[in-house]
Amino acid sequence: MAAPPTILTKWQSLEPELRSVLRMVAAFIFLLFGTMKLFAWPGAQHGGGPVELMSQMGLAGVLEFVGGLLLLVGLFTRPVAFVLAGEMAIAYFQAHLPKGFWPTLNGGVNAALFCFLWLYFSAAGAGPWSLDAKVRRRA
């Protein structure tokens, strides 16, 4: 006879759903960085308005907005997360590392965390609450 489930085994069994929740919350926050760059909403970036679309910051805004939306709904999660991890690595090395080594001092905490978070999702997938999972179930 199997041992009754413990609170730990019950909690661990929620990992797939919690992965989906983490993806959705992180994607929503991430896409807000894109809306700030592209639409100056919910607040403006450092320059006070939207960034120039045909610039490196404009490309970053498009990646963050479109990629954030795709990750929010969990569509094409693995390739999108991989591309966004690369974007965040570039952001960190270009904009933050030259200001010093420590992310807490060089302003790079968001870039570093998002880089590794998206790298994780590129390997782990979106979780059960995603369009990826829905498409997989129908196939």
Residue 93 lies in a domain: yes
Residue 12 lies in a domain: no
Cβ–Cβ under 8 Å, residues 77 and 125: yes
Residue 53 lies in a domain: yes
Q: Which of 120, 96, 118 is nearest to 108 (CA)?
A: 96
Write b or e for each residue in 30-49: b if 16 or more Cβ atoms lie within 10 A of its Cβ, otherwise e: bbbbbbbbbeeeeeeeeeee
Amino acid 54: pLDDT: 97
pTM confidence score: 0.93
Q: Which of 121, 119, 130, 117 is nearest to 17 (CA)?
A: 130
Domain that holds residue 28: 19-138
Tally of domains within the chain: 1
Residue 105 lies in a domain: yes
Question: Which mean pLDDT values do the consecutive 10-residue runs of the chain (139 residues) have?
Answer: 88 97 98 97 88 96 98 98 98 98 98 98 98 93
Angle of CA points 43, 34, 32, to nearest 5°: 60
Collapsed DSSP state (helix, strand, coil) of residue 9: helix
